[in-house]
Structure formats: structure tokens, C-alpha cells
Amino acid sequence: MPENRLLIRGGTVLSLDPDIGELPVGDVLIEDGKIVAVAAHLDVEDAEIVDATDRIVMPGFVDTHRHTWQAPWRNIGSDWTLAHYFTGIHAGLSGHYRPQDTYIGNLLGTLEALDSGITTLLDWSHNLSTPEHADAAIAALQESGSRAVFAHGGGAPEWAAVPSDVPHTHDVKRIREQYFSSDDQLVTMAMALRGPQFAAKETAVHDWALAREIGARVTVHVGDGEWGKTRPVAWMHEQGMLTDEVTYVHCNTLGDDELAMIADTGGTASVSADVEVQMGHGWPATGRLLDAGIRPSLSIDVCTSHGGDMFGAMRATIAAQRGLDNAAAEAASDADSLRLSCRDVLSFATIEGARACGLDDRIGSLTPGKDADVILIRTDSLAMTPLNNASGAVVYNAHAGMVDTVLVAGEVVKRDGELVSVDVPRIRRLAVETRDHLLAQAHDDPRLANATLGGDWIPAAYTAA
């Protein structure tokens, strides 16, 4: 048997490739980490067989915006608004992070994502106060075995005040040269910039020039809450900052003309519907983006308030947009169709995510020639039987516990429902130690004097400078 040859046999295939479509029963052949063939039946004998009976086979999910370092604080802000989050996390806990805290936050968060079928994660890493913090964040991504985009977003000094005149650190040049001299690797690099919402305008111009200097894609928050009503995209357009290498995160409170500017310049968007409706960013922009000709990607954003899997993100996205569409149709007495389908939302979570990361030529669909980032979802539970609509079942019925098998670049990183070669007890222990250390530090910080676990701590609402 040739080495590194694997046949996924007999599953329900959701390829997300329009030329292949959906196969009620199909096979996927993988060689040397690449997808070689996808068909209803492949006559292959000399390959390791993965039995996909009672499984949905599809490309891995792509999360295009996650503040992974915050994983040890999961659910501490489930009852917080965006203003509470800025005080509790950005103006508070973030400043107490040691490099080892950033490391375990990134490792915990990335493995959580991988365990739930997210094979590519854009790590919007904006708590890198020192070069050692950045090194620790990268080390965790590399150790995880996941595909990732390390989006360098500065640290507490850059985010301590809004708007900030602290320029993005030039340590990104060292990081680019030391870790990311090639873009053809499992972990690649981008820059997570504050833009004119959160930085002084001259600082935003400086940061953009730095990204261009090192040749990095840009991801930027725009249109989240009141900050987004300052027409940041229109100003960026005037400065020539809008390109097809920029991903715009949230977009809730942007003007329709600003969305058109993004579309006209080839930009991509990332919707975080779950956190947007929970924290008060504004209604998710999914439908308005589609109206502008932009097919968005999806992201988790933060786990300080809600769960970290793509199933919840897909359900929040489709629920919010269908609610808006149905309300508008009811007002017009024309509620006879749904414009957003489950297949649309699956594409947002896969191929559109790959596009937003600049990786759509490598991942995002089960297309021959692409890297084999593949997941298998169980369909043998009562909740998935009988399987009548695979796309609908993934979006509305499935959950992270149903993810049976995960491959990244052809390597099996989860098998039979368990992550491979991951010391879960160690990671859990380090995560608890980090949380307890930071909580102890918080008690000496007047901004965080009331910080407690259990859901009772509500920080003071952040007030911009």
C-alpha cells in the first residue's frame, strides 16, 4: 500500500464545490495531504480506508476572526455588553497576561476549535504586549496541529484607550522574517489592525503602511456598535486603504454605501452573529452584505460570552437574518420565500471563510488538488435519523459532539471522536492555573476589584477617551 494514501468511503458528501455538488453516497481519495478525487464510487484498493457510513463528509470549517487568547475566560461575560467587555477584558484583564497565559489561551482555544471541526482559524491576536507574548501565541498555534492564520494585533498599550495614537509595533517585521518567510505553510500571517475606529487616523495610516511593507493581508473591525457609525470605511476609501486583501469584521452599523465600497474594491467580510446580537454591535449585516454583492464568512469572535463552535455561529447567522427578512416580508405582506438557505450558510462557514483568509485556492471545498482539510460528522444518532437534508442537518441539528473525524492537510487529528496525541488533562490544568493567576492579579487592579467567577461580576461600562 502506498504511504499517505487514504480513502474516505461511503459517506454523504457535501463538497461545497459547485462542479461536484452533493453526493448521497460518495468517496474521497487523499494522497500526500491532497484531495485527488471525489466521486460516487472510487475503485481504489491500495489505500487506508476510513469508513464514512452514517457520516457526512465535508470540508473543515473556517473561523475568520477569533480572539483566541481569551479562551480561559469562557462565559465570564455571558451577561456583558460590548462596553462591559472593553472594560473587563481590554482595559482590565489583558494587561496582566504573561507570555505563558497567551500560550495556553491560544492552545486551549485552537484545540477547542479543531475538536469541533474548525480546521482553519484566524487568530485575531491583539494582546501581544511584548515580543515574548507573540512568540508564545505562535508556538501554541504551531503545536495545535491546526491550520491557522496568526493575525498580529498589537497589545494592551495599543488598546488601552480609544482612539489610540500608539502605532503598531514594528516587531511584526521580526515575526514575518522569523516565522512566516513563506506563505506556503500550515500557519501563516496577517495583520489585525485597529483602523480609524480604534486608532487615531494618522496611526491607522501608519499601521496600513506597515502591513503593506511586510506583505500581509489585513483584518479590521468596522461597524461594531456606536464606533461604527463614524463612517470608518468611507474615510479609509478616501485614503486608498480598501483593497481585495482586507477583511472587514462585523460591518453592522456601516452605511449601505460603505458596503458598496467594500464590494467594489474586492474586500471580504466576517460576520459574528452570535456575539453581535448578544453584545449589542447592531443587527448582523449578513443580508445587507449579500445585497451589496458580498458573500460573508463567519466567525466566533470571543468565547468570553458564548460557545466556540461553528454550529452555533451558523444557527445564529441564519436565525438573525431570517428573522429580519421575515419581519420585513410580514410588513410588506409577502412572506412566501426565504432568501438565505442552509447551503448558503454552509458556504459562508467553509469556502467563503477560506476566501477571506486568502486560502481559497488551498482549502474550503472538497476539490481535487486542494489540501485535504476534511471533517466527518456522525448521522447515526436519533437527532440525525433519518438523514433527509444533509445541509439542513449540519446547520440546524449537528453539534460539536457529533464531529467524529478531522483531517488537516491529510493528517488525522481527531479520530472516533477523540483528538489524537493531545494531552487534555495538561491543557485543562494550565488553563485553570492561568485563570486563577489572572484573577488574583485582578484583585489588586482598581478597575477589576469586584472581579469574580459565577456570573455576578458586571464591569463598569467602558467610556471612550
How much is the pLDDT for 158?
85
Q: Which CATH class is domain 61-356?
A: alpha beta
Give residue for cell 461600562.
461
d(CA 75, CA 73): 6
Q: How many Cα atoms are found within 13 Å in the side-chain-facing hemisphere of 446?
A: 0
pTM for the model:
0.97
Domain boundaries, the chain: 5-59+369-418, 61-356
Cα gap 452→368, rounded to integer Å: 51
Residues composing the chain? 465
Task: Evaluate whether 5-59+369-418 and 61-356 have a shared fold.
Answer: no
- Looking at CATH, the fold of the domain delimited by 5-59+369-418 is given as Urease, subunit C; domain 1 (2.30.40)
How far, in Å, CA of 220 to CA of 249, rounded? 6
Mean pLDDT by 10 residues, the chain (465 residues): 84 98 98 98 95 98 98 96 90 92 98 98 97 98 98 87 90 98 94 96 97 98 92 98 98 98 98 96 97 98 96 98 90 72 98 98 98 98 98 98 98 98 97 96 83 92 69
HSE, side-chain direction, 13 A CA sphere, residue 164: 19
Cell of 42: 472510487
